[in-house]
Amino acid sequence: MQGQRHHSESPYEERFGFARGVRIGDRIHIAGTAPVPNPGDTLAPDAYGQMMRCGEIATEAIEALGGSMDGVVRTRMFITDASDGDEIGRAHKECFGAADPASTMVVVAALLDPLWKVEIEVDAVVDADMDGSGIP
Integer Cα distance of 79 and 114 in angstroms: 11
More confident residue, 1 or 87: 87
CA atoms within 13 A on the CB side of 103: 16
- Whether residue 43 contacts residue 52, with contact meaning beta carbons closer than 8 Å, is answered with no
* Predicted confidence (pLDDT) at residue 7 exceeds the cutoff of 90: yes
Query: Is the CATH number 3.10.50.40 carried by domain 4-125?
Result: no
Q: Where are the domains of the chain?
A: 4-125
* Predicted confidence (pLDDT) at residue 74 exceeds the cutoff of 70: yes
Q: pLDDT, tens digit, for every residue of 92-134?
A: 999 999 999 999 999 999 999 999 999 999 999 998 555 555 5
Q: pLDDT, tens digit, for every residue of 15-24?
A: 999 999 999 9
User: What pLDDT, on a 0 to 100 scale, did the predictor assign at position 127?
Assistant: 83
Integer Cα distance of 117 and 47 in angstroms: 6
Strands (E), the chain: 4-6, 21-24, 27-33, 72-79, 102-107, 118-125
- Closest by Cα among 125, 39, 51 to 86: 51
Query: pTM for the whole thing?
Result: 0.91
